[in-house]
């Protein structure tokens, strides 16, 4: 699988073990003149995507948010979009029928393990956004992307797609499920020449990680590396060193997703 390897100091470099592009795809997605819809675009990584897309020459950026009045970035088109509400997803697909790239960024998290008293309710609520929201958006916009030439689908995932220490148990599980969904969509959408990219990263300096005293990447760094990977035709972007290490360790004698040996 092709990957972006990036360090904060050097930026992304490409490492290729297999062909980077889907064999049915003519060329990689380009941002210039693209029409893009970003979910959860009013803050954090979503806002950074909107800004960087405009800076790279996107023709139009739809900024989806539950409350469109919270979208204040100049140059974008605010779009009311709660990805857990099918009627709003359908309305977005009808209004944004010129979209060539969908960025599934909207996500929620809540600390806690699976043995907590409210874990079932918490897990269902998180999966509604982080998994079923991505699934619903992908199904609604797949025909739009096909009509517009194939385009691209970028799903914002996480390093916790592969590890779950229990601190963010439901969130981690939702990202694991979304990773599997992304891999399936890549195969299902290949015939219509839709490029599907999975973006994985560790801690990013957003509201979601407020209160975590750990090293964090900036949203701008993550977004730049994601879009560089998309335009390079990659299937997967590992946007920071921690994520690269965790993914590489999946084949270790004792992978990082297992508890430390006694």
What structural domains and CATH numbers belong to the chain?
3-251 (3.40.50.720)
Specify the higher pLDDT residue, 79 or 7. 79
Asked if pLDDT for residue 10 goes beyond 50, the answer is: no
Task: Select which of 60, 62, 175, 247 is catalytic.
Answer: 175
What is the per-residue pLDDT across 73-99, written as a single tens digit (0 to 9) for each?
999 999 999 999 999 999 999 999 999
Task: Select which of 26, 30, 62, 171 is catalytic.
Answer: 171
Q: Give Cβ neighbours of residue 70 (< 8 Å, ≥ 6 apart).
A: 42, 43
175 is a catalytic site residue: yes
pLDDT for the residue numbered 256: 84
Could you count the other beta carbons within 10 Å of the beta carbon of residue 163? 17
Can you give the pTM of this predicted structure?
A: 0.88
DSSP 8-state code for residue 64: E
| 148: three-class secondary structure by DSSP | coil
Alpha carbon distance 87, 151 (integer Å): 24
171 is a catalytic site residue: yes
């Amino acid at each position: 699988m092709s990957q972006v390897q990036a360090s904060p100091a050097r930026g992304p470099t490409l490492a290729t073990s297999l062909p980077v592009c889907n064999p049915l795809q003519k060329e990689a997605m380009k941002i210039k003149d693209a029409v893009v819809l970003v979910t959860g675009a009013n803050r954090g990584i979503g806002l950074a995507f909107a800004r960087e897309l405009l800076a790279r020459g996107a023709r139009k950026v739809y900024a989806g948010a539950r409350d469109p009045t919270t979208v204040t970035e100049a140059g974008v088109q605010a779009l009311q979009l709660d990805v857990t509400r099918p009627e709003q997803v359908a309305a977005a697909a009808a209004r944004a029928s010129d979209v060539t790239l969908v960025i599934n960024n909207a996500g929620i998290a809540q600390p806690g393990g699976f043995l907590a008293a409210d874990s079932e309710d918490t897990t269902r609520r998180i999966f509604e956004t982080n998994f079923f929201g991505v699934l619903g958006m992908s199904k609604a916009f797949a025909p739009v992307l096909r009509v517009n030439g194939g385009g691209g689908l970028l799903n914002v995932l996480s390093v916790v797609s592969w590890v779950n220490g229990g601190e963010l148990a439901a969130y981690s599980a939702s990202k694991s499920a979304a990773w599997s969904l992304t891999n399936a969509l890549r195969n299902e959408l290949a015939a219509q020449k839709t490029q599907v990219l999975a973006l994985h990263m560790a801690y990013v300096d957003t509201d979601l990680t407020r209160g975590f005293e750990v090293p964090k990447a900036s949203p701008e760094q993550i977004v730049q590396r994601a879009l560089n990977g998309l335009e390079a035709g990659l299937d997967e972007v590992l946007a920071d060193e921690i994520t690269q290490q965790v993914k590489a360790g999946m084949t270790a004698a004792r992978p990082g997703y297992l508890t430390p040996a006694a």
